[in-house]
A and B are shown apart, each in its own frame.
Chain A
Amino acid sequence: MPAVDPTRFFLERFGLSTTGLDRVLGTAVARRADFADCYFEFRITQTASLEDGVVKKATRSVRQGVGVRVLADAQTGYAYSDEITLERLELAARTAHYIAEQRSETAALPVPGAPAAPHDLYAVTPAPIETPLADQIALLGRLDAVARAADPAITSVFAGVGIEHKVVLIATSGGLVVGDVRPLIHLSVTCIAERNGNRQQGSFGGGGRFAFGMLGDGRAERFAREAARQALTNLDAVPAPAGTMTVVLGPGWPGILLHEAIGHGLEGDFNRKRTSAFTDRLGTRVASELCTVVDDGTIANRRGSLNVDDEGTPTGRTVLIENGILRGYLQDRLNASLMKMPVTGNGRRESFAHIPMPRMTNTFMLSGQDAPEDILRSVDRGLYAVSFGGGQVDITNGKFVFSASEAYLIEGGKVGRPVKGATLIGNGPDVLTRISRVGNDLALDDGIGTCGKDGQSVPVGVGLPTVRIDGLTVGGTQA
């Protein structure tokens, strides 16, 4: 796929004109509505997967469609279709406009923020989707060999590569027309290790908005070695402890803590509706003074980054917590205008079939002062967790969980035996106040995160330096 101008791409592919588009937006916003936009999307997804040492499965799918949105106060009208024709667009505009017809008067909302220029964070040539399948198959074959070479106990290896090529175009009733071409690569490796009837699994992966060749710099092989190592480590795991104890989180992906514990609770929609445990907490202490947390959608080539969000707003770097004080929320257009706050470039949607919502991009804590070894040495008895599966949060009461997939006991300041996976549970507005040490080793994750909210999945990133939490509940089986 050669570099394309998204506007020309959609207009030519579907025989539309800018005047036709203006008329649709006119219909959508007519009379009582505040705002309307059209979101065009064309996406190719290709996957190849390896098992039993060979690639026997490949898929390719093409999705395309358009969503028309109308805003009137806090109301959203939305209609979408995977047929992109002027008739369909007009019909969608009239359907979405229904919402505005329910309204008695217009209270013109301020349009937040002056338009700024989009970023250029992932112009990648050749586009990853152009990668010959043979190259993808060869890479997967190498990963299989690397993982199996780790130990004869590795009995199965599954590896998959997924490449997405997404072109979007956002046209608004305010006259903004902005497009984005978004490449995304994802690689994953899962290993099964077996010894004396004990069977364990290890998984690792990563990716981002970069060229396929970037995986060939040893990064992919590292994923395979890590998956194998994790499976082998878990063969020796003892039952995890149960109860409240000191927990040290390793750098990188354990940043999922921030995503679940505070990130969702700081999304604008929940705070506007006053259903978040963080409602009305701006300016108050929600973390120890060692903690500064940001959401940054502008880091080049990261999985969670975007040139513009799915409403056409350029992404930004939002300080959520500064030295322990809550400073900001993540906003989309609707919630920013209703809360009279600035948009932050966090209006995201899974696809043309979905209504935008405030979502995270790359969420991480800045480095502190401590050497990671010193942090571990400071703990007499506790848990050291370095890798996690998924997490979840109840926004309203603030309780969140995240599940360790690789963790160790800490005994006398030393990292001891590996323990079986266990879920950690805590209270979002409280957990960061218990952070007593922050390492100097901030790392971002390898690019594996997908966040689900209200049925919509979007790619995200997280990051964390090594941190010590004085008191988190570990859901093991050993009293």
Chain B
Amino acid sequence: MLVERARAAGATAADALVAESDGLEVGVRMGEVEKLRRARERRAGLRVFVGASTAVVSTADLSPAGLAELAGDACALARATAPDEHGGLPDRGDLATDQPELTLYDAACETLSPPDALARAREAEAAALAADPAITNSEGAEFGGGGGQVAYASSLGFAGAFSSSTFSLSVVPVAARDGAMQRDSWWTVDRALARLDAPADVGREAARRTLRRLGARRVPTCECPVVFDPDMAASLLRSLAGAISGPALYRRASILLGRLGETIAAAGVTVVDDPLRPGGLASRPFDGEGVASKKRTIVERGVLASYLLDSYSARRLGLKPTGHAARGAGDAPTVAPTNFYLEPGPHTPADIIKSVPRGLYLTEMIGFGVNLVTGDYSRGAAGLWIENGELTHAVEEVTIAGNLLDMWQGITMVGNDLKFRGAVAAPTIKIERLMLAGA
């Protein structure tokens, strides 16, 4: 209907997205209810093309008058912008022809009640607080659940819709010893309520991670091997996804520009993107422009096999779209990975740690020191020091630095512990040499 209104307002092509969601989020702290938040959102987004010119508009005002105004605004904006020969909807041949059921929706989100949600958060936090007398405080535990629907249609005749839900539970305990405090966290997130980790397990794991940070100190500046725990390894994958995303490439703002088909990582590195993974946190039957979803190998044994492209960046680069248009109601399509993971390797995490004479087991990074144009990488780091293959004391207030290309190529061991705890996932990895700056 929105697409028709756009055409009536003068658009030669258009696509529209309507998203609605409902959610409940609760927080407890030190056993007491801290917050309860109920959300309800509905938004409509419209992209129009007037000839080769385009504009994107969105509104939460879904009244007939609001929608008519939206279509008029969009066409007026488009007429003011310069034409772009690469613009336009995807080619018809790239559109999804079937919409597989991916089990993304759990109706439990409709009946989630505050007492149930609060009980889960309470149980998780209580388990963390009970784990050790050194756990003296807490930033609290949060439980959230919600669901919604996204509908997409374009003037190519494509129409599709799917529902999805998300449930999550997180705990942030605080431990104190000798006047110094540390916090860490643990969480579980899933499309299905029943598949979440048990609240007490989440709380205990959060406590374990927090306790092991007590007594943290700096280590002297040195070059050393760094073992990335699975969440930290996933962060390196996010940098990879950023560097192979279409807009970074056609803007010449990526270290991986022109590297398709070349070796960019160690032979043990195979990276896959799978938008069709059943129940996956980033799964969807079609992308933000209606392009078919397909499982792809992105890096095959170290060789860069595919970029991540929407239809616009694909045309700019003279390539085919890969179905990676990501779209919120309010924005033009951007590019994002879906379920993006590093294939597991042969090593147990314990063996990887054992292989390190002196180095860092990295469990947290802070800051934004990643330059995708040059690959320069420098971030705040915390973790545990490895001495003769054994984890010893906690480490804090140091940085690790290198270059992403050297880092991907320096992955000498890949763990066998891949677990999907988010859309981007990786097992434990070891990078042979990084510069660590400390005392």
B116 close to A (CB within 8 Å): no
Complex CA gap A88/B77 in Å reads: 33
Of the four ranges (under 10, 10 to 19, 20 to 34, 35 or more), the interface on chain B belongs to 35 or more
Report the stretch among A145-153, A218-226, A420-428 that lies at the interface. A420-428
B1 close to A (CB within 8 Å): no
Question: What is the interface of chain A mostly: helix, strand, loop, or mixed?
Answer: strand
Q: Are B42 and A82 in contact (CB under 8 A)?
A: yes
A477 close to B (CB within 8 Å): yes
Cβ of B309 to closest chain A Cβ, rounded Å: 17
- Among B58, B181, B402, which residue has its beta carbon within 8 angstroms of that of A277? B181
A355 close to B (CB within 8 Å): yes
Measured between beta carbons, the chain A residues less than 8 angstroms from B411 are none
Q: Are B34 and A75 in contact (CB under 8 A)?
A: yes
Cβ of A385 to closest chain B Cβ, rounded Å: 12
A274 close to B (CB within 8 Å): yes
Q: Are B38 and A95 in contact (CB under 8 A)?
A: yes
Report the stretch among A56-64, A122-130, A461-469 that lies at the interface. A56-64
Give a binary string over B70-98; 1 marks a CB under 8 Å from any A CB, 0 the rest.
10011001101111100100000000000
B397 close to A (CB within 8 Å): yes
A475 close to B (CB within 8 Å): yes
Given contacts A76-B35, A137-B80, A403-B378, contact A60 B398 (CB under 8 A): no
Measured between beta carbons, the chain A residues less than 8 angstroms from B58 are 59-62
Measured between beta carbons, the chain B residues less than 8 angstroms from A134 are 80
Measured between beta carbons, the chain B residues less than 8 angstroms from A273 are 29, 137, 139
Measured between beta carbons, the chain A residues less than 8 angstroms from B318 are none
Interface residues of B in 27-65 (CB under 8 A from A): 29, 32-43, 45, 53-61
Complex CA gap A78/B144 in Å reads: 14
Q: Are A394 and B366 in contact (CB under 8 A)?
A: yes
Q: Are B253 and A201 in contact (CB under 8 A)?
A: yes
A51 close to B (CB within 8 Å): yes
Q: Are A425 and B399 in contact (CB under 8 A)?
A: yes
Interface residues of B in 299-335 (CB under 8 A from A): 330-332
Q: Are A275 and B183 in contact (CB under 8 A)?
A: yes
Give a binary string over A181-207; 1 marks a CB under 8 Å from any B CB, 0 the rest.
000000000101010000111000000
Q: Are A275 and B181 in contact (CB under 8 A)?
A: yes
Complex CA gap A401/B367 in Å reads: 6
Instruction: Tally chain A residues at the interface, Cβ within 8 Å.
Output: 81
Q: Are B57 and A392 in contact (CB under 8 A)?
A: no
B400 close to A (CB within 8 Å): yes
Q: Are B35 and A75 in contact (CB under 8 A)?
A: yes
Q: Are B437 and A475 in contact (CB under 8 A)?
A: yes
Cβ of B260 to closest chain A Cβ, rounded Å: 17
**In the complex, residue of chain B having the shortest beta-carbon distance to the beta carbon of A277:** B181
Report the stretch among A163-171, A237-245, A317-325 that lies at the interface. A237-245
Cβ of A79 to closest chain B Cβ, rounded Å: 4
Q: Are B397 and A423 in contact (CB under 8 A)?
A: no
Interface residues of B in 364-417 (CB under 8 A from A): 366-369, 371, 373-374, 376, 378-380, 382, 396-403
- Among A201, A396, A475, which residue has its beta carbon within 8 angstroms of that of B401? A475
Q: Are B252 and A74 in contact (CB under 8 A)?
A: no
Complex CA gap A234/B373 in Å reads: 11
Give a binary string over A50-76; 1 marks a CB under 8 Å from any B CB, 0 the rest.
010011111111111100000000111
Q: Are B221 and A102 in contact (CB under 8 A)?
A: no
Cβ of B70 to closest chain A Cβ, rounded Å: 8
Given contacts A61-B330, A396-B174, contact A242 B437 (CB under 8 A): yes
**In the complex, residue of chain A having the shortest beta-carbon distance to the beta carbon of B364:** A394
B114 close to A (CB within 8 Å): yes
Cβ of A270 to closest chain B Cβ, rounded Å: 9
Cβ of A309 to closest chain B Cβ, rounded Å: 19
Measured between beta carbons, the chain A residues less than 8 angstroms from B29 are 74, 273
A106 close to B (CB within 8 Å): no
Complex CA gap A60/B439 in Å reads: 50
Complex CA gap A194/B257 in Å reads: 13
Cβ of A74 to closest chain B Cβ, rounded Å: 6
Measured between beta carbons, the chain B residues less than 8 angstroms from A342 are none
Interface centre among A83, A390, A421, A425 (most CB of B within 10 A): A425
A364 close to B (CB within 8 Å): no
- Among B87, B396, B400, which residue has its beta carbon within 8 angstroms of that of A397? B396
Q: Are A83 and B42 in contact (CB under 8 A)?
A: yes
Complex CA gap A395/B36 in Å reads: 24
B201 close to A (CB within 8 Å): no
Q: Are B174 and A242 in contact (CB under 8 A)?
A: no
Q: Are A420 and B374 in contact (CB under 8 A)?
A: yes
Interface residues of A in 404-461 (CB under 8 A from B): 420-423, 425-427
Interface centre among A78, A355, A403, A427 (most CB of B within 10 A): A403
Q: Are A199 and B397 in contact (CB under 8 A)?
A: no
Q: Are B435 and A479 in contact (CB under 8 A)?
A: yes
A133 close to B (CB within 8 Å): yes
Q: Are B379 and A421 in contact (CB under 8 A)?
A: no
A473 close to B (CB within 8 Å): yes
Q: Are B252 and A64 in contact (CB under 8 A)?
A: no
Complex CA gap A76/B140 in Å reads: 14
Q: Are B379 and A58 in contact (CB under 8 A)?
A: no
A247 close to B (CB within 8 Å): no
Give a binary string over B218-249; 1 marks a CB under 8 Å from any A CB, 0 the rest.
10011100000000000000000000000000
Q: Are B399 and A475 in contact (CB under 8 A)?
A: yes
Measured between beta carbons, the chain B residues less than 8 angstroms from A475 are 369, 378-380, 399-401, 435, 437
Cβ of A390 to closest chain B Cβ, rounded Å: 4
Known: A75-B36, A133-B80, A190-B253. 18 other contacts (CB 8 A): A58-B78, A60-B57, A61-B58, A74-B29, A80-B39, A82-B41, A98-B114, A99-B35, A158-B251, A355-B37, A397-B181, A420-B374, A422-B369, A422-B378, A425-B399, A473-B397, A474-B399, A475-B400
Q: Ordered nearest first, which 5 A-B pairs have the shortest CB separation?
A: A475-B399, A401-B367, A401-B380, A423-B369, A390-B368
Can you offer 16 A-B residue contacts whose CB atoms are under 8 A? A56-B82, A58-B78, A60-B57, A60-B73, A65-B60, A192-B251, A242-B437, A389-B368, A394-B366, A396-B174, A423-B369, A474-B437, A475-B369, A475-B399, A475-B400, A479-B221
Chain A contact residues, CB within 8 Å of chain B: 48, 51, 54-65, 74-83, 92, 95-96, 98-99, 102, 133-134, 137, 155-156, 158, 190, 192, 194, 199-201, 234, 240, 242-244, 273-275, 277, 353, 355, 389-397, 399-403, 420-423, 425-427, 473-479
